[in-house]
Amino acid sequence: MDWRSQDTNQKREQTKKIVREYLEKISLGDNAVREEFIMRFKPFILKQVFKSTDKYVEPENSEEYSVALFAFNEAIDTYDEKKHPNFLVFCEQVIRRRLIDFKRKNKKNSMVYPFSYFESEDNSLENAFFQSNVSDGIERLEFLEDIGHFKDELACFNISFRDLVLCTPKHRDSRESLINVARTLASNDELYGKLKRKKKIPTPDLLKLTSVSRRTIERNKKYIIAVSLILRSNLEIFKEYAECCKERRVDMR
């Protein structure tokens, strides 16, 4: 072993000793020491962000850094020296996992599609998804499985993808009102259970919880049912779209 290797090993052991001392004090509930520990290892956290994202970030303006900082705190709270002899190696794993989760969530939420992608019974929506920047084969398979499941659920109510376009109200205010009705239906387990069992909207019960008329519900039942199913599904790309519509950012049609 040459002097360089010996020096490196000494530094590594010294760092492990410093980390161990910090963790012992933090375990006693010393938040001031936790903050000091975080500040001291801020360069380490930034390095992990760079390794995971391949970009330098400004801590004050970076969601990725916030995720990594949260993961660093998580590592502090969950670290077990018996299972993981090196805290920094364990911490690196936690940060990487959390950043991967964050990236996947953002990918799903950035792909927001309106009902117009159901204009025909072909693979318009699937094609749009495959032309996106999603490279994860598992995500694509999950997406296709979710779409297939959603199509089957709609069929149980005699609703086709084509119907989604035809039954969508033309006016924004009407759409927003109906989405709120659908949200009320989807968030109430008892009403949603009746919808699933009887394959029709429990109109009398729903009227008690909303301000719309019976005629409005009956005339827009397909749209309300479809949105309710979406809100109780894994279809994040449509649930996000409903939220965008609610916030008046886009038209859900």
For residue 43, the domain's CATH number is 1.10.1740
Kindly give, in sequence order, each residue whose CB lies less than 8 Å from that of residue 74, ignoring residues fewer than 6 positions away. Answer: 94, 98
Residues of the domain holding 130? 115-246
* In a shared domain, residues 60 and 129: no
Tokens coding 116: 């117009």
Domain contains 253 = no
Of 109, 140, 163, the position where a domain reaches its end is 109
Q: How many CB atoms lie within 10 A of CB 202?
A: 19
**What digits encode the pLDDT tens for the residues 63-105?**
899 999 999 999 999 999 888 889 999 999 999 999 988 887 7
Q: How many domains does the chain have?
A: 2
* In a shared domain, residues 147 and 235: yes
Kindly give, in sequence order, each residue whose CB lies less than 8 Å from that of residue 62, ignoring residues fewer than 6 positions away. Answer: 49
* In a shared domain, residues 46 and 157: no
Between residues 219 and 123, the one the model is more confident about: 219
Direct distance between the N- and C-terminal alpha carbons of the chain, in angstroms, rounded to an integer: 69
Of 109, 136, 165, the position where a domain reaches its end is 109
What is the pTM (predicted TM-score) of this model? 0.47
* In a shared domain, residues 84 and 141: no
Burial of 66 (0-12, 13-18, 19+ CB in 10 A): middle
* In a shared domain, residues 104 and 120: no
Domain contains 83 = yes
Residue 9 DSSP symbol: H
Domain contains 252 = no
Cα 108 to Cα 94: distance, rounded to the nearest angstrom: 21
Do 128 and 117 meet the contact criterion of CB atoms below 8 Å apart? Answer: yes
**What digits encode the pLDDT tens for the residues 40-67?**
999 999 999 998 888 888 888 888 999 9
**What digits encode the pLDDT tens for the residues 183-222?**
899 999 999 999 999 999 999 999 999 999 999 999 999 9
Domain contains 227 = yes
* In a shared domain, residues 153 and 240: yes
* In a shared domain, residues 137 and 22: no
